[in-house]
């Protein structure tokens, strides 16, 4: 680079060689691979969670957990795959009062469904799943709905599992628990629960619906619930996703049928 005076001012004059080098540098930058974030593919989401400890490798070890008085044995790599559980274990190990003399690490949670939590973590780090439960889920939730464990059918158990998976911040298990009921799934994935427990909100909704239908059936004086049941396909009636709704319709039809029988008896007695 040369300095020359022009009209009383100093100016920079680049040599031909410097100009050529500058152009070549710009071309090299343009040819470099983009540094934009890599898109997360579905395959990447399905892959087991990477843990700091190699599975069954050096540094892995058996960990004994005492959850609410019941012991569970697992590997350090399984614990390490969940940030909440890992944090609990690390803090407990630093407190002699919570390690029971080095025998087991105490965790103050209900042990009833911890086996499901633990099995979910094991299957996830090993890349195992039973398939997806995404039939009714919105697009942004489908990739999280991976069934890594078989869940019970009872609503009370599912509600407890949902709460435990909330505590351990396991989104996939929350989706799987809600996925057992269409109404609960809608409450969870479309914001209808508004941050509350979707199982409780679904129960409240069914109660309000039941009261409204009973009032409507009473006003019209016809067995609407039974009529609805009669026209529904058998597959719909036996669907596990619609079990609460089918139970409600059956209760309403029986309730309305009882009212009709009572009314018929009253009419017969008046005719006599």
Q: Which long-range contacts (CB under 8 A, 24 or more apart) does 260-267 make?
A: 260/223
CA–CA separation, 90 and 59 (whole Å): 15
CA–CA separation, 153 and 14 (whole Å): 78
- pLDDT by residue (tens digit) across 194-249? 566 666 666 666 666 666 655 555 544 445 555 555 555 565 556 555 566 666 66
Highest mean pLDDT among 12-21, 139-148, 180-189, 235-244: 180-189
Say if residue 158's pLDDT is above 80.
Answer: yes
Q: In the prediction, which pLDDT does 108 show?
A: 95
Say if residue 77's pLDDT is above 70.
Answer: yes
Q: Are 244 and 181 in contact (CB under 8 A)?
A: yes
pTM of the model: 0.54
Give the Cβ contact number of residue 155 at 10 Å: 16
Q: In the prediction, which pLDDT does 207 show?
A: 66
Q: Are 257 and 223 in contact (CB under 8 A)?
A: yes
Q: In the prediction, which pLDDT does 135 show?
A: 46
CA–CA separation, 108 and 161 (whole Å): 16
CA–CA separation, 259 and 219 (whole Å): 12
Q: In the prediction, which pLDDT does 153 show?
A: 82
Q: In the prediction, which pLDDT does 183 show?
A: 65
Please report how many Cα atoms fall inside a 13 Å half-sphere around the Cα of residue 253, on the Cβ side.
13
């Amino acid at each position: 680079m040369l300095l020359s005076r022009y009209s009383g001012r100093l100016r920079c004059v680049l040599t031909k060689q410097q100009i050529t080098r500058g152009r070549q540098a710009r071309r090299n930058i343009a040819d470099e691979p983009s540094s934009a974030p890599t898109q997360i593919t579905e395959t990447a989401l399905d892959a087991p969670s990477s843990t700091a400890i190699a599975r069954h490798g050096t540094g892995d070890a058996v960990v004994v957990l005492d959850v609410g008085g019941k012991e569970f044995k697992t590997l350090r790599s399984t614990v390490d795959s969940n940030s909440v559980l890992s944090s609990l274990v690390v803090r407990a190990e630093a407190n002699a009062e919570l390690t029971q003399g080095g025998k087991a690490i105490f965790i103050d949670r209900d042990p009833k469904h911890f086996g499901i939590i633990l099995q979910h973590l094991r299957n996830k780090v090993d890349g195992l799943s039973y398939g997806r439960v995404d039939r009714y889920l919105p697009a942004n939730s489908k990739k999280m709905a991976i069934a890594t464990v078989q869940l019970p059918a009872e609503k009370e158990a599912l509600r407890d599992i949902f709460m435990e998976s909330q505590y351990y911040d396991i989104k996939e298990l929350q989706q799987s628990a809600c996925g057992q009921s269409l109404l609960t799934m809608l409450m969870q994935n479309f914001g209808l629960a508004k941050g509350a427990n979707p199982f409780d909100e679904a129960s409240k909704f069914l109660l309000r619906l039941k009261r409204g239908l009973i009032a409507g059936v009473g006003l019209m004086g016809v067995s609407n619930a039974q009529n609805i049941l009669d026209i529904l396909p058998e597959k719909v009636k036996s669907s596990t996703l619609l079990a609460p709704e089918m139970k409600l319709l059956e209760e309403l039809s029986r309730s309305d049928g009882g009212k009709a029988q009572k009314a018929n008896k009253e009419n017969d007695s008046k005719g006599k």
